[in-house]
A and B are shown apart, each in its own frame.
Chain A
């Protein structure tokens, strides 16, 4: 178990428990929870509050045949659900999102690679591979950004982030994360806007845009 120093803020854990956190962020929160006993304890506290609210909830009557219909289903065989367990450096939530497919690293230049795991209107989540000494590619900060380290470490103006640590960035955070010496740094990153890496621009167009 790595020593974790950068955690998920408590309100975000509550939002994860209640399901109000967008999917891409939930992937990072669930992945951090896969390393962190402290944050799992915080989740347990929120689930306990949720459970108490459920138990004291006002009732709504069910239709007459709801119970017999359910009791009749108890013996029906459940459709087998695929199980995706943690593998290597990748925690369960990353494997769940890959759904058994192999990694597909796409080069962004300077040895930096990415694999987009999930994208919807509310945000996107991707794996980033950054060789030692390389900067995490420059991207626009349109909103909240979560970066969780899965292998190696990176450092920036705010500190050092090792395996299991999560950095929370927003528009106010102007930072230049650089992968530390040693193993390449592999991260799971979620943003509420698609990351616009400069290197994504087709190479032929780059001279026109002076990138």
Chain B
């Protein structure tokens, strides 16, 4: 089984960085990730100059903490998403976010390659599901996941009544969950 055919590019790059400190792979990852991260962080409310500073910080954190990435536990994109949110908030608030303790392996589950593949599949289907969402739903979901935005704040900012905001998020999430259920 070829790793390159079944793993996403992002996972392959991240594993090359983790296992071989591969600078070329890190460079490729930068080309793919940095502009997306910058767009993402700008929509979280940061000015472009600050967004770029956070991107650099996130990329450097990925390089330094790659050893902690475990594809049995999380997708590369999910792991990077959490780093991006944590670094953004740490930089703005100058107070480290509380991070949960790692729980050991579930005694019932031996880590194996099928776990990694299941997570890879999930990531792929999620991306497809997001691309198929109605633009309104995508915007709402994005706001819930990128921002220091509560449902109330989304409602204020978009002028939509709170009930509508909540039901749109629920609708969108429900659709994503259904995708996930089909996989698990």
Interface set of A (CB-CB < 8 Å, partner B): 1, 14-15, 17-20, 23, 26-27, 29-31, 33-34, 37, 40, 43-63, 66-67, 69-71, 73-74, 78, 85-86, 91-93, 96-97
Contact = CB atoms under 8 A, between A and B. Distances in A.
Nearest to A58: B39
Given A18-B144, A60-B48, A93-B98, A44 B34 contact: no
Contacts of B36: 54-55, 57-59
B23 A18 contact: no
A34 B79 CA distance: 17
Interface of B: 10, 23, 26-27, 30-31, 34-40, 42-43, 48, 51-52, 55-56, 59-60, 63-64, 73-82, 84-86, 88-89, 93, 95-101, 103, 106, 119, 122-123, 126-127, 129-131, 141-142, 144-150, 173, 176-177, 180
Given A56-B130, A62-B35, A74 B23 contact: yes
Given A55-B127, A60-B39, A71 B23 contact: yes
A18 B127 contact: no
B98 A37 contact: no
Given A19-B88, A73-B60, A14 B42 contact: no
- Find the residue from A14, A18, A58 having the highest chain B CB count within 10 A: A18
A62 B84 contact: no
Nearest to B177: A45
A203 B137 CA distance: 56
Contacts, number: 182
A55 B95 CA distance: 27
Given A46-B145, A47-B78, 20 more contacts: A19-B88, A29-B98, A33-B101, A34-B101, A44-B74, A47-B79, A48-B75, A48-B77, A48-B126, A49-B145, A50-B78, A51-B78, A53-B145, A54-B84, A58-B36, A62-B34, A71-B26, A74-B63, A92-B100, A93-B100
Contacts of A54: 36-37, 40, 77, 80-81, 84
B126 A49 contact: yes
B52 A20 contact: no
B69 to A, nearest CB: 12
B123 A70 contact: no
A44 B39 contact: no
Nearest to A36: B103
A91 B38 CA distance: 34
Contacts of A40: 100, 103
A66 B97 contact: no
Q: Which 3 A-B pairs have the closest CB atoms?
A: A51-B77, A33-B100, A59-B35
- Find the residue from A60, A66, A85 having the highest chain B CB count within 10 A: A60
